Amino acid sequence: MGDVAVGARSGHEGPEEPEQGGAGPAGAGEGREPEVTESGADTPRGHGRTSAPKKPRPFWKELPLLIVIALVLALIIKTFLVQAFSIPSGSMQNTLQVSDRVLVDKLTPWFGSKPSRGEVIVFKDPDRWLENEPTPTPNVLQRGLSFIGLMPSADEKDLIKRVIGVGGDTVECNGTGPLKVNGKPLDESYVFQGNTPCSVDEGGQFKVKVPKDKLWVMGDHRQASADSRYHQTDRNQGFVPVDNVIGRAFVIAWPPNRWSTLSVPDTFHQSGINAAASATAPAALGLVGAFPFVLWRRRRLSAERTDG
């Protein structure tokens, strides 16, 4: 309700007429009939009148505003939090099937999180990996819905693979496998049935050391995936720059009967696989332990110079 100034006058009213049934101050208020306010209390006429509540706007008038808010929120979510992607090929079978929709976590990279071994990631084409691949042309509506995140990304320059090696790792394939990371063979139960972990062909036999801030990626459908193995002659030697990573695929959201999370397989948690990291651990601990001694020595030398 609006504020009501009791007894206030607008300045446009005529002279006040004398009241019937009373004269002067002594008769003020006499002879008035009380009126009932909305709250049910008797209030003299002209005093404390309550204004009627405003009627709510019709829903159809509110609908455009609700749509705009929903679209803005969808755009924010797609840009900073989660984005949907469609799987166009079978290079990640049987983990991902053609036309599956996956949700990709785009939030954690904002906090400095980097991809880990075993994660399924979506990344931008590092160097014309999709140059010879046919790309569909979405219509205007599809592009618009994709832009705000209501449809999977229409940008066909994105790829999805599994991270096998991170900076400092040594990844190798001999014969038909198994695939090894830092000398540890991987138990790859996720590899497409009938495929071998390694391919006996040009590119399928390799031993590489992953540079810092780079990734070695491979598809789960090993004999149908043009991944890091087959791009070792590009400007990145087949590695994917961490900066190209859009996010981690963490769930299959569509179709409903395919719903499942995309967790890191246990084989990537086996003991000793972090050989590259553990080799540097003693040196790092040594530096940390030496720091107090160096600091004490510097202070002692400074004190001796002052005394001298």
21: left (phi over 0), alpha (psi -120 to 50) or beta: left
Active site residue 214: no
DSSP 165: E
Active site residue 199: no
Choose among 8, 258, 246: nearest CA to 120: 246
Biggest alpha carbon distance in the chain?
116
Neighbours of 197 (CB within 10 A): 18
State how far the Cα of 105 lies from the Cα of 246, in Å rounded to an integer: 8
Contact between 20 and 27 under an 8 Å Cβ cutoff? The reply is no
Contact between 241 and 109 under an 8 Å Cβ cutoff? The reply is no
State how far the Cα of 303 lies from the Cα of 308, in Å rounded to an integer: 9
Identify the three-state secondary structure at position 80: helix
Return the structure tokens found at 306: 């002052």
Active-site residue, selected from the candidate residues 78, 106, 161, 214: 161
Active-site residue, selected from the candidate residues 78, 91, 225, 228: 91
- Tell me whether the omega of the peptide bond preceding residue 274 falls within 30 degrees of 0, making it cis: no
Residue tagged 């030697």 (tokens):
237
User: At how many degrees (to 10) do helices 140-148 and 59-80 cross?
Assistant: 70
Choose among 244, 243, 219: nearest CA to 229: 219
- What are the residue numbers of the active site? 91, 161
